[in-house]
Structure 1
Amino acid sequence: MKVKFRKYSWQLAPGHIRDIREQVFIQEQDVPPELEWDDTDEIADHYLAVMPDNTPVGVARLFGTLGETAHIGRMAILPDFRDQGIGEALLRHVMTDAASSHDQIMLSAQEYAIPFYQRSGFHVCSDLYDDAGIPHADMRCLSPDMVIKALAERRNPQVLGRDDQSWLFSDEHDMISLMDSVAGQARQRIWLYDRFLEHDLYDRFRFRELVSSLARRHRQSEVRLLIHDDKPLVKRRHRLVELMRRLPSKIELRLASEDYPAEEQPFLLADREGVVYRHDFYNPQGFAKFADGGRVKLLSERFQRMWDTGRTSLELRELPL
């Protein structure tokens, strides 16, 4: 079904936007009016979905924070126009706008709608919580530009445990996006193997926050960093090293033994499903997969053998906090 989309500021938005939100959220879902209307409306872009005859059928809003994060919210489709693909088309239109200037998109999803957002590349990143008496979960898309290009061919793109297709990368930007998307969905463990913790790849605020979030999630959380060379970490401060020294029971670093056969390809493993695999240490070329239990099992066994023969870094242990 062909749907058109129009974008407005709140000051110039037609009354249809307010009417649809009032009908869906306030009347249908019993959201208190004082919670529905907030100051964010003033800074957001507002989208109106209309049929070919200009009948208004759906709304959404978009605003940005912190320079790199976009937030989608207040998505609503009128009852008579649901289950026709309009909501999905509206979401992807807003995602495309957001991806032009943001590296990450966040939203708060009602529990029943989580599968709807997963089909467009969002994954759950919080526990359930109550918002206006309705169970919600935070969801995010960490590589929206790549996801949008793939939406025509893939369902559940980049969702851990659901997307079993390969994502190829041949440059650092795509590699970092995929690495963050894989690592950001780990709920129990991240195992990372590389020559060293290259600052451009691993000493980034977002990657540090993803690792920190996992490490603090629960008692079984585990982050293992296995490298060959710790000299760059001694010479220059590194976010992961500082985090490791604050959370020593959750994050551990070892140096691979020179006497034990080592892998020639670096990789990152998330839980028992996700993998980012490079063809060598020196080039940003390889692939990521979000549902490849067989490969992750094989690489985990190789990682474990190198880990068991590795040693801790005395130099890093002696660094001041």
Structure 2
Amino acid sequence: MKARIRKYSWQLAPGHIRDIRQRVFIDEQRVPPELEWDDTDEIADHFLAVTPDNTPIGVARMFTALEETACIGRMAILPEYRGQGIGETLLQHLIHEAADNQYRELRLSAQEYAIPFYESSGFHVCSDTYEDAGIPHVDMRCLAPTLQAEGLESRNRPLLLGHDSRSWLFSDELRMLDLVDTLAGQTSQRLWLYDRFLDHDLYDRHRFRELISALARRHRLSEVRILIHDDKPLVKRRHQLVELMRRLPSKIELRLVNDDYPADDQPFMLADREGVVYRHAFDKPEGFANFADGGRVKLLTETFQRMWDTARSSLELRELPL
């Protein structure tokens, strides 16, 4: 069934939005009214899905949580209209809305049973299960809404590690950063990074640091390996990854390539056993990313391991004060 989506402020929202939320969340799912109606409604944009004959059938809201982050919530479709693609239409409309407003991150709290639904549109789980109003939930996010909106046209589970097997090309820095962060944010255990040096514009960013920090603390077997040719820029200027590495030395290790042995000419980042960001040259933001390319990752893993085995530690970084 086709549906149209209308946008309202809370002050101008029609009663149908309240009615649908009352019916789905309070009556059907037994959410206490005092939890359903909150102050966030006042600052959120509200979306109403209607049929071609203007029958209200679904709702959602979206609000700004941080400067570049939007949150989706209170998404509901009336029971008699479920299974007809209405939820997908509504969710994709919200994703395009976030992309048009240039948000860098899109988050939501999903009921556990709905995880596959949100994954199909490019969201990935980023928390353990918790209860909200007595219902199991997980946090989900997308770290690149613009790419997410682009991928909805031709991909199932766009940007999802282990599922999206079509390569994403990039030729500018912003697109490259979004792909790097999206891959790093889904890594569950192993992230290996090879580059000429830890470029500040690429790696010395708060969001990337937080993603690496979360990975290092996620699992007792988590492993971050950084392999570079030149550590002089790190000695001359503070770097967030170096500071993190020195606080988590058992999880994050940096080595310098041994120039007496062959080394690869193209930088890359490997995520677990399926994800890769590959650049064609050290000094250009040009290349591709793939979220489900186990064959290529296996070959690059072997290349990385050969360089790693002959690499050495950085004495200069070890002697820097914390």
TM-score range (shorter-chain normalised) is over 0.9
SS of residue in 2 equivalent to 1:184? helix
Letter of the aligned partner of 2:110 in structure 1? Answer: A
1:20-39 paired onto structure 2 within 5 Å: 20-39=20-39
CA distance in 2, matches of 1:156, 1:9: 31
Q: State the Cα distance separating 1:101 from its structure 2 match.
A: 2.7
Q: Deviations over 1:206-225 (max 9, x none)?
A: 11111010001121111111
TM-score, with structure 2 as normaliser: 0.98
TM-score, with normalisation over the residues of structure 1? 0.98
- Moved segments of 4+, more than 4 Å: none
1:147 deviates by: 1.7
Q: Secondary structure, in 3 states, of the residue corresponding to 1:316?
A: helix
Tell me the CA shift for residue 2 of structure 1: 2.5
SS at match of 2:140: strand
The answer for the alignment partner of 1:195 in structure 2 is 196
Paired-residue identity, % = 74
Secondary structure at the residue paired with 2:108?
strand
Q: Deviations over 1:141-167 (max 9, x none)?
A: 111111211212111001011111111
How far apart, in 1, do the equivalents of 2:160 and 2:232 lie? Answer: 36
Which amino acid in structure 2 is aligned with residue 9 of structure 1? Answer: S
CA distance in 2, matches of 1:35, 1:270: 39
Question: Per the alignment, in what secondary structure is the counterpart of residue 137 of structure 2?
Answer: strand
Q: Output the CA distance in 2 between the equivalents of 1:211 and 1:89.
A: 34
Give the structure 2 partner of residue 134 of structure 1: 135
Deviations, residues 266-298 of structure 1 (Å, cap 9, x unaligned): 000000010000111111111101011111111
Match of 1:320 in 2: 321
Rounded to whole Å, the distance in 1 between the matches of 2:40 and 2:265 is 50
- Report the counterpart of residue 88 of structure 1 in structure 2: 88
Matched, 1:259 2:255: no
1:182-224, Cα deviation, whole Å (9 max, x unpaired) = 1110000110000000000000111111101000112111111
- Who is 1:206 aligned against? 207
Match of 1:275 in 2: 276
Aligned ranges for residues 67-86 of structure 1 at < 5 Å? 67-86=67-86
3-state SS of 2:197 partner: coil
The aligned amino acid for 1:270 is A
Instruction: Give how far 1:64 is off.
Output: 0.8
2:102/2:146 contact within 8 Å kept: no
Please tell me the root mean square deviation across aligned C-alpha atoms, in Å. 0.8
Q: Any idea what the Cα deviations from partners look like across 1:115-145, whole Å, max 9, x if unmatched?
A: 1111111111111111111111111111111
- The residue identity in structure 2 corresponding to 1:227 is I
Paired residue for 2:232?
Answer: 231
- For 1:185 and 1:305, the matched residues in 2 are separated by 25
| 2: CA distance, partners of 1:312 / 1:132 | 50
Cα distance in structure 1, aligned partners of 2:303 and 2:239: 26
Q: Give, in whole Å, the separation in 2 of the partners of 1:68 and 1:316.
A: 33
- Equivalent residues of 2:64, 2:71 under 8 A apart: yes
Q: CA deviation at 1:247?
A: 0.7
- The answer for the alignment partner of 1:181 in structure 2 is 182
Q: Deviation string for 1:54-102 (max 9, x for gaps)? A: 1100000001122111100110000111111111110111111112231
Q: Specify the SS of the correspondent of 2:76.
A: strand
In 2, Cα distance between equivalents of 1:32 and 1:305: 58
Match in the other structure for 2:157: 156
Counterpart for residue 109 of structure 1:
110
Equivalent position of 1:119 in the other structure: 120
Aligned to 1:97: 97
What's the offset of the Cα at 1:177? Answer: 0.6
Partner of 1:57: 57
Q: Is this contact kept in 1: 2:95–2:148, CA < 8 A?
A: no
What is the alpha-carbon distance in structure 2 between the residues aligned to residue 258 and residue 90 of structure 1?
A: 54
Q: Unpaired runs of 5+ in structure 2?
A: none
Q: Aligned partners of 2:264 and 2:109: how far apart in 1?
A: 41
Q: Report the counterpart of residue 18 of structure 1 in structure 2.
A: 18
Partner of 1:170: 171
State the SS of the aligned residue for 1:216: helix
Contact 2:274 2:297 (8 Å CA) reproduced: yes
Unpaired runs of at least 5, structure 1: none
Aligned to 2:287: 286
Question: How many residues were matched structurally?
Answer: 321
Give the deviation of 1:242 after TM superposition: 0.7
